[in-house]
Structure 1
Amino acid sequence: MSDKKQTTQISTEEPDKLRGKSFSGEEPGGKALWLAALTVLGVVFGDIGTSPLYALQKCFSGHGSVAYAPENILGLLSLIFWSLVIIITVKYIAYVMRASNEREGGILALMALIEPAHPKDRRKRTWLIVLGVFGAALLYGDGMITPAISVLSAVEGLKVINPGFESYVIPVAVIILVLLFLFQKQGTAKVGSLFGPVMMIWFLVLLGSGIVGMTKDFSVIRALNPVYAVRFFLTAGSESFLVLGAIFLVVTGGEALYADIGHFGKKPIRLGWFLLVMPALVINYFGQGAVLLNNPDLAGKQVFYYMLPDWSIYPMVILSTIATVIASQAIISASFSLTRQAVILGYLPQLKLLQTSSKQSGQIYIPGINFMLMIAAIGLVIGFRKSVNLAGAYGVAVSMTMLITTILMFKVATEKWKWSLAYVIPVTLFFILIDISFLTSNMFKIARGGYFPIIIGITVFTLMMVWHTGTARMVPVGGKKQRSLKTFIENIKRNKPDRFPGTAVFMTSEIEQVSLLMMRYLEFFKVLNEKVILLNPEIMDEPKVPPEKRVEVEDLGSGITKLVVHFGFMENPNIPNILKNLEISGKKIELDQIVYYIEYPRMEYGGKWNRKKFIAKLYSYMARNAANPVSFFKIPYNQVLEVGVRVYIK
């Protein structure tokens, strides 16, 4: 695919520093704002909202844990509180969310914002792209772990009800996961209105149970003082550093805040966070700490289920299971959205994609990705068997992504916002110090399961870069015979081939060159349709394209028209919808008289094994298993002529 256009518009909160336009209207206000804030609870905060089920437990069990001691509890609570403040509130809510690509967030959207200070410096541009793609690839690893650890930690409440139920935990968790992934083809639209209210109940329960827990020992409020966190590092030795891997579990939903701003806007997310989510999380963690101070024997257990009376265990297990399913739903949907962005940006082949809502474009279903996530999640549950074990694998990949986000934000702040280096450097170094501390601590998890998301991330990254490189360097055999469009049109006017009724649409990614398919067509048949459209569907590096910028039409003469159609990387391309509203030479196009000519690469490998042959082999395999572009662009199958073209990697 041809080079993408880099958007230079960024949504703004401070008109003097950031200036741009929003593609989806103003931020909601009034009742709409409160309704959006309610919906946000069920989508944005699902992951971070279920962390109290296992985060504090992990601090006192397994590798990287600390010994039970009152001073350690206060130190851990202080670390949890200030991690939520620094990473979620300051970094993501106040800093990262300011940078949105036409109000779309996520690491791929952030990557698309960045242009090198000097356009000729391709090495810098390549480095930034590679970094952004690697960060996106890493999210797939944690996307597989999240459903497994969330559902498993909730179902483990059965052991609290009755230790004899332990043998049922894994089968029940697997059944829930299977049902969850089978449900995906129905889409979240049918139950989306329930997510927000259910998660509001969940956060209110977190708040209430935390208050009840704090009544055991209100002295835990002292942990708000960062001195206890500092003292913990000074007295706990190496354990204080290793336990950061467990502390990181409380902030793993940070990337979701940024990724979902395009769906809801910034105000609803901020309102939900400050008004309910953050208070509920902090008070619940402090409530668990208060219970631990009075019950040392609970260290390393799910304290969450011991804060309330015995009669509440059954409903709490049910509610927590529902909450974790919702949290899993959010990360699965995010994986679908990330995949679609990667496909449209040219980093993955076209995949079968189903729209599950006629009103919300973000609600999609990708069968292949869904099946992959299901098999991985079930395998993780069976392999690791306990949520505390899965916690050892969780966080490695997302901590890397958070570090990459900080680095990319430095480029946005300096090149897009034109902020002073005297301001940006200290801010960036501060966040990098925090990110590296968590990343280094999480690295000790690699031997205990952390290798899994790394392997997944590297695999996905390899596939992305191979597809992008192969597409950019793919050359038709005999490509030297390819003519410029200008020369081709001159030959048409001079030789005047016979014409027959109808419209021929030749799909091409190189609009200034005549494709080998069109040349061969004319050489073989010596005829052309009365109308010929050279169609270049171009995917832009911006989420959505306004109607006035959708198409570029140029009449080349002799009944030949050059048509460039722009789609945003968050849109679902539909070529017939574009053509039915198009006029050529003052006349509407008859859709039923169109024949679409599409060429397919047939790779030639040749030579010994080397980097090019590896790329060619893997690219060819991916191309064979890709979705048909006919369905990707919503083209009627009965109006398509598909032709294979021999190509190689230059």
Structure 2
Amino acid sequence: MSATPVPVAADPATGHAEGHAEGHAAAHHAPHDRRYLLLLSLAALGIVYGDIGTSPLYSIKESFLPAHGVPPTRDNVLGVLSLVIWSLILVISIKYIVFILRADNRGEGGILVLTSLVTPAHALRRGRWGLIILGLFGTALLYGDGMITPAISVLSAVEGLEILTPALSPYVVPITVAIIATLFFFQSHGTSAVGRIFGPVMVLWFGTIAALGVAHIVAEPHVFAAVVPTHALRFFLDNGWHGFVVLGSVFLVVTGGEALYADMGHFGRRPIQLAWFGLVLPALLLNYLGQGALLIRDPAAVANPFYRMVPGWALLPVVIVATLATVIASQALISGAFSLTLQAVQLGYSPRVQIEHTSAREMGQIYIPSVNWALMASCIALVLGFRTSTNLAAAYGVAVTTTMAITTLLFYFVARERWHWSILKAGAVAGFFLVIDLAFWGANLLKIPHGGWVPLVIGAVVFTLLSTWKKGRVVLASRMADRTLPREAFLESLLAHPPHRVPGTAVFMYGSSTGTPPALLHNLKHNRVLHQRVVFLTIRTEGVPHVPPEERARVTEIGHGLWEVVLRYGFMEDADVPEALQALGHPELPFKPLETTYFLGRETLIATKRPGMALWRERLFALMSRNARPATTFFRLPPNRVVELGAQVEL
């Protein structure tokens, strides 16, 4: 069946989507439950902030690569530090934490959610396909980012072994591959289990990097001058084009922004904000300032300023903690990829896949095996292909900057249409952030010949799959509608020629609420019987994450033993059809498991040259359809109570 998004209900007073931005985690708990809020904030450290939190391992080092032509002089160091500080403040603290996290859909975040907020069903008639394409492309690029983040993060930490002793250099890549494989095998235990383990480790990590920074700041307190933004301006004036090139490496300090937004549904807005301002931001600022202080005193430390900060006696423990932290850094993008995939499935952009909920308490915490193993294989391939964090840094950033710019554009439409901001206000805020995004984007485009093409190719492949599935469902629905008998005509035929009725309830699942399910017509044609009770069942996926149980079902009696049932689900929910039908409690429409039969249509798709899609896309859509998760398991139907009736459909 196709999932049909409908407009998102909004609060008429504020224009915000219904619900509040605290997410599912906070939605079921009183605001005064501080202990639970602190526990969620701790878990958020282990899921949301790993990517941003481990950027100090490589971002300053990459900013002063000899290829950039910017030596680590005192003025250049202060200039880069100023860029780093204000990037964290403007991009993460203000853009994402203050503004973007407000653009939630009942607590869920991510670029696909943002797209659904500005492209409800009625908006598609107003030429919003361009925004859908932008949102889909930004979503696709996040998958590419999710493949690079574990590779570069873990590799950069394990490279600390080379500082300990060059004899360990040959083992860096094998150790990295083993750690990444272990991380992905651990995913099936669930986000909450990962968060409980990783949260305390990240507290140790942020405490460690803050202490390392303070130790060097004390020796060079003048480094605090970097807080003044004029140093960033002077850096560009002194270095010109070379300074612009360095901006592509400075961007590495904010690469976790989109993952932060995508993971909002796991914990809610408040825990993410508390963790950022309470621990993450101060620790990052202290460490970056400490690295700058070290470079001012010892420019030769530019080869690896993070590990050069560490006293010799503490190097091995710090390498271990850093490795654990980078494993955690990978978690943010992995969890975000799971959330994006679930949203894509429920909103009709992806075929059905196996989705496992790993927490009975937090509905946003899920595990998707197919995505997990695909990410693992890709990460390992990247490590084996690029072999060093410097090589991977050349590929890192192009996809994320593009997604960030798209997020800003979509935010403008949310601010205008959902929050009713004026054109001037929305344009000023979005325009300010877009200037920053485009500056980073332009600097990162220079990386394309050096490996930046990798995430773009990955993104293009994923975008092709998502857009083909969406367009294919539209074409298939059109073809099915052409051959569907209107329900009124079926009822007239039923009254004129009543078939033999047999005991029990027959449920016919179909995406249209006005047509007659083809499976019903096939059953009548071949078996010449009709059940005592016949239910036309339609499942709709709404443009909100969750639908309240009391709004789940709508039951309409058609007459002559025929009923129409519409079940509504949010795009972050799994549809359990038997459970929902038994919960109806309608006195005249009982659902007894042993007396209920589910009839499904199974279409065999045939690619043709008819108008609709290109022939190669029709073949791709047919292949995706054949490999989609069966409707029986996706809707949790009892296998021994399901009858599938096939038909061939020419696309």
What range is the shorter-chain TM-score in?
over 0.9
Which of these residues, 442, 448, 452, is aligned with residue 450 of structure 1? Answer: 452
State the distance in 2 between where 1:626 and 1:478 align.
Answer: 19
The range that moved more, 484-493 or 448-457, is 484-493
State the distance in 1 between where 2:263 and 2:365 align.
Answer: 12
Which of these residues, 96, 102, 121, is aligned with residue 106 of structure 2? Answer: 102
Alpha-carbon distance, 1:467 to partner: 0.4
Could you tell me whether the CA contact under 8 Å between 1:7 and 1:113 is conserved in 2? yes
Alpha-carbon distance, 1:140 to partner: 0.2
Alpha-carbon distance, 1:363 to partner: 2.7
Could you tell me whether the CA contact under 8 Å between 1:212 and 1:308 is conserved in 2? no
Partner in structure 2 of residue 37 of structure 1: 41
State the distance in 2 between where 1:73 and 1:589 align.
Answer: 71
Q: How does 1:243-642 map to 2 (within 5 A)?
A: 243-299=246-302, 301-474=303-476, 480-607=482-609, 611-642=613-644
Which of these residues, 86, 91, 96, is aligned with residue 87 of structure 1? Answer: 91
Partner in structure 1 of residue 193 of structure 2: 190
Alpha-carbon distance, 1:548 to partner: 1.7
Alpha-carbon distance, 1:477 to partner: 6.9
Aligned letter for 2:305?
V
Q: Extract unaligned runs of 5+ from structure 2.
A: none
CA 1:26/1:127 → structure 2, altered by over 3 Å: closer, same or farther?
A: farther
State the distance in 1 between where 2:29 and 2:402 align.
Answer: 33
State the distance in 1 between where 2:109 and 2:477 align.
Answer: 34
Could you tell me whether the CA contact under 8 Å between 1:34 and 1:268 is conserved in 2? yes
With normalisation by structure 2, the TM-score equals 0.95
Which of these residues, 213, 216, 219, is aligned with residue 216 of structure 2? Answer: 213
Partner in structure 1 of residue 225 of structure 2: 222
Could you tell me whether the CA contact under 8 Å between 1:579 and 1:591 is conserved in 2? no
Name the SS for the 2:127 alignment partner. Answer: helix
State the distance in 1 between where 2:480 and 2:457 align.
Answer: 39
Q: Deviations over 1:226-279 (max 9, x none)?
A: 000000010111011111111111001111232233222222211111111101
CA 1:428/1:111 → structure 2, altered by over 3 Å: closer, same or farther?
A: same
Alpha-carbon distance, 1:114 to partner: 1.0
CA 1:357/1:62 → structure 2, altered by over 3 Å: closer, same or farther?
A: farther
Partner in structure 2 of residue 21 of structure 1: 19
Alpha-carbon distance, 1:187 to partner: 2.6
Which of these residues, 78, 83, 93, is aligned with residue 74 of structure 1? Answer: 78
Alpha-carbon distance, 1:504 to partner: 1.2
Alpha-carbon distance, 1:25 to partner: 4.3
Could you tell me whether the CA contact under 8 Å between 1:476 and 1:648 is conserved in 2? no
Could you tell me whether the CA contact under 8 Å between 1:476 and 1:645 is conserved in 2? no
Could you tell me whether the CA contact under 8 Å between 2:48 and 2:260 is conserved in 1? yes
Partner in structure 1 of residue 54 of structure 2: 50
Partner in structure 1 of residue 9 of structure 2: 8
Name the SS for the 1:530 alignment partner. Answer: strand
Alpha-carbon distance, 1:204 to partner: 0.9
Aligned letter for 1:169?
V
State the distance in 2 between where 1:302 and 1:320 align.
Answer: 14
Aligned letter for 2:87?
S
CA 1:509/1:16 → structure 2, altered by over 3 Å: closer, same or farther?
A: closer
Aligned letter for 1:152?
L
Could you tell me whether the CA contact under 8 Å between 1:475 and 1:648 is conserved in 2? no
Could you tell me whether the CA contact under 8 Å between 2:79 and 2:235 is conserved in 1? yes
CA 1:477/1:248 → structure 2, altered by over 3 Å: closer, same or farther?
A: closer
Aligned letter for 2:277?
F
Name the SS for the 2:512 alignment partner. Answer: coil
Residue identity over aligned pairs, in percent, reads 43
CA 1:184/1:262 → structure 2, altered by over 3 Å: closer, same or farther?
A: closer
Name the SS for the 1:281 alignment partner. Answer: helix
Q: How does 1:108-119 map to 2 (within 5 A)?
A: 108-115=112-119, 119=122
Could you tell me whether the CA contact under 8 Å between 1:475 and 1:647 is conserved in 2? no
- Across the aligned residues of Structure 1 and Structure 2, the Cα RMSD in angstroms comes to 2.1
State the distance in 2 between where 1:58 and 1:108 align.
Answer: 31
Alpha-carbon distance, 1:359 to partner: 2.9
Could you tell me whether the CA contact under 8 Å between 1:106 and 1:258 is conserved in 2? yes
Could you tell me whether the CA contact under 8 Å between 1:8 and 1:113 is conserved in 2? no
Q: Deviations over 1:19-47 (max 9, x none)?
A: 74337346744222222222221111111
State the distance in 2 between where 1:621 and 1:537 align.
Answer: 24
Alpha-carbon distance, 1:603 to partner: 1.5
Q: Deviations over 1:353-391 (max 9, x none)?
A: 223333333332222211211111011111111111111
Could you tell me whether the CA contact under 8 Å between 1:476 and 1:647 is conserved in 2? no
CA 1:375/1:420 → structure 2, altered by over 3 Å: closer, same or farther?
A: same
Alpha-carbon distance, 1:215 to partner: 2.2
Could you tell me whether the CA contact under 8 Å between 2:146 and 2:333 is conserved in 1? yes
Alpha-carbon distance, 1:93 to partner: 1.2
The range that moved more, 538-547 or 187-196, is 187-196
Could you tell me whether the CA contact under 8 Å between 1:2 and 1:472 is conserved in 2? no
Could you tell me whether the CA contact under 8 Å between 1:104 and 1:262 is conserved in 2? yes
State the distance in 2 between where 1:267 and 1:539 align.
Answer: 27
Partner in structure 1 of residue 177 of structure 2: 174
Name the SS for the 2:109 alignment partner. Answer: coil
Alpha-carbon distance, 1:491 to partner: 2.2
Which of these residues, 184, 200, 213, is aligned with residue 203 of structure 2? Answer: 200
CA 1:272/1:257 → structure 2, altered by over 3 Å: closer, same or farther?
A: same
Q: Deviations over 1:544-602 (max 9, x none)?
A: 00112111111111111111111111112111111221234435310122221111221
State the distance in 1 between where 2:52 and 2:250 align.
Answer: 12
CA 1:112/1:120 → structure 2, altered by over 3 Å: closer, same or farther?
A: closer
Name the SS for the 1:104 alignment partner. Answer: coil
Alpha-carbon distance, 1:178 to partner: 1.4
Alpha-carbon distance, 1:63 to partner: 4.6
- 1:139 aligned to 2:142? yes
**Runs of 4+ in structure 1 over 6 Å off:** none
Q: Extract unaligned runs of 5+ from structure 1.
A: none
State the distance in 1 between where 2:512 and 2:28 align.
Answer: 34
State the distance in 2 between where 1:70 and 1:218 align.
Answer: 13
Count the aligned residue pairs: 644
Could you tell me whether the CA contact under 8 Å between 2:154 and 2:176 is conserved in 1? yes
State the distance in 1 between where 2:244 and 2:83 align.
Answer: 11
Could you tell me whether the CA contact under 8 Å between 2:607 and 2:619 is conserved in 1? yes
Could you tell me whether the CA contact under 8 Å between 1:350 and 1:626 is conserved in 2? yes
Alpha-carbon distance, 1:185 to partner: 2.4
